[in-house]
Every structure is written in structure tokens, then in C-alpha cells.
Amino acid sequence: MNIVEKASTPVKSPVFVINGSTPGPKLWVHGGVHGDEHEGPQAIIRLARDLDPSALKGVIIAVPVINTLAFEAFQRGSPVDNLDLNRCFPGKADGFISEQV
């Protein structure tokens, strides 16, 4: 998933889609809103690794790191626009990069 181009290189974040054995509800899970908090991304990766899809109904869509630029810089907000992503929801299509996520 391309989020933004940084120095001509797409910034990417893995997306885990875990399909249960039968239809059911959809659950969205994300972490890494603050780049200096790594517990959420680690928990999501473990969850995706350890879940047994045959024991699930529905779909889980999990993104370990939403704020990739801040995560790479190990700082709370984005180094590009210095905004705290947690204060940018619901966002603006024509705003700063953090507001566009």
C-alpha cells in the first residue's frame, strides 16, 4: 500500500487480511499511530501470525503501522508535517500528509 513518496521511494505498510472459514463480520485493527509506541504493531503482527483462520468467522484486516514515517523516525508525530496522527481524524483529502492518512 503506497502512502506517500519519500525521496522518490514509496512508503509501504504491510496489511494482513485474515479470512475466516465462514462468512461473518469484518474487523479493522491498526497500530503505529504514534511512531514511538511499538507495542501495538508487535501485538498486531503476533495476532496475525498466531490466529487460526479455520476458527474464525468473517474477516480481520490488520495494519500494524499506520504512521510509517513517524515509526521509521521513532518519534510520536510525522517528521514530514510534525502532526500527531491521533489528532488528525477524520482527516482532509487536501491536507498535510498526516491528515490524508
- Quote the pLDDT of residue 10: 65
Range of the domain at 72: 2-100
Cell digits of residue 23 = 462468512
Strands 2-6 and 9-12, by their bridges, are: antiparallel
* pLDDT tens by residue, 18-65: 999 999 999 999 999 999 999 999 999 999 999 999 999 999 999 999
My answer on whether omega of the bond before 53 falls inside 30° of 0, hence cis, is: no
Q: What's the domain count of the chain?
A: 1
- Quote the pLDDT of residue 68: 92
CATH code: domain of residue 68: 3.40.630.10
Q: Which residue reads 514515517 in cell numbers? A: 69
First to last CA, the chain: 12
* pLDDT tens by residue, 64-74: 999 999 999 99
Residue 9 has pLDDT above 90, yes or no: no
Q: How many angstroms separate the CA atoms of 23 and 40, rounded?
A: 27
